[in-house]
Structure 1
């Protein structure tokens, strides 16, 4: 933070230093929130990818519990595991083949990991 002309932090007022500290704290908190959001999204996509793999191994007509929410499941029967609905965000779903669904998850995971790595570089 010190400039090459000799005017460094030691010449700043207490108010200026407090403002710099508050700005830095805000930036660190935003960065930490972004890292946590990326970790959460990556974890969800990895779970979805695992679920797709497990689903692809089940035979048609298999009995299963279908999640309606994070804590509410209803009994169901697997009709066709070759097609899945993929949540692409903001409440929109797209029908894809099982392989396309797995590929979508892997691409999103790789994108999030890349974003995570970029944020880590900024952090340090």
Structure 2
């Protein structure tokens, strides 16, 4: 049996590895899979936040009025009441603490692009996660076979010694 890593990776004959090497490989694949899954969840969360921002622009700002009260987020769990001063422009967080004033149309386009970029990244990452999961299953199968074979040999030797 052989397993290969991502495109351009090396192929390893898993049958030639010892149980200890297979265990280390399994541990490494588990760690990589855990990291990639965490990254996937973080990207999915960012995409959800961008969708919420886009929804806020499309439903809240575009159809709002300057005398209608809104809740302004100070932190993720603290909001204060306020009103919109200008319906034609919004302040957009472009990352790492930088904010830019944009028209509502430009802000909607910005968030729409971000959502599409993240969707592409999520698809790519999902393919990598699926590949790593497949590799992990193959390694687990070979490891299980080797452990069972080693137990079988031990049992056979014990039976022969008892005779």
Structure 1 residue 27 and structure 2 residue 32: aligned?
yes
Q: Between Structure 1 and Structure 2, which shows a larger proportion of helix residues? A: 2
How many Å separate the matches in 1 of 2:22 and 2:100? 51
Aligned residues: 121
Deviation, structure 1 residue 75: 1.9
TM-score computed with the length of structure 2 as normaliser: 0.69
Q: Which stretch shifts more, 53-62 or 42-51?
A: 53-62
Give the superposed CA RMSD: 1.7
Deviation, structure 1 residue 70: 2.0
**5+ long unaligned stretches in structure 2:** 4-11, 131-163
For 2:96, the equivalent position in structure 1 comes to 90
Deviation, structure 1 residue 71: 2.0
How many Å separate the matches in 2 of 1:119 and 1:46? 20
Deviation, structure 1 residue 84: 0.7
- The counterpart of 2:66, out of the listed 60, 73, 76, is 60
How many Å separate the matches in 1 of 2:16 and 2:83? 72
Aligned residue for 1:80, secondary structure, equals coil
How many Å separate the matches in 2 of 1:78 and 1:11? 68
For 1:120, the equivalent position in structure 2 comes to 126
TM-score computed with the length of structure 1 as normaliser: 0.88
**5+ long unaligned stretches in structure 1:** none
Aligned residue for 1:120, secondary structure, equals helix
How many Å separate the matches in 2 of 1:19 and 1:75? 55
Deviation, structure 1 residue 82: 0.9
For 1:2, the equivalent position in structure 2 comes to 2
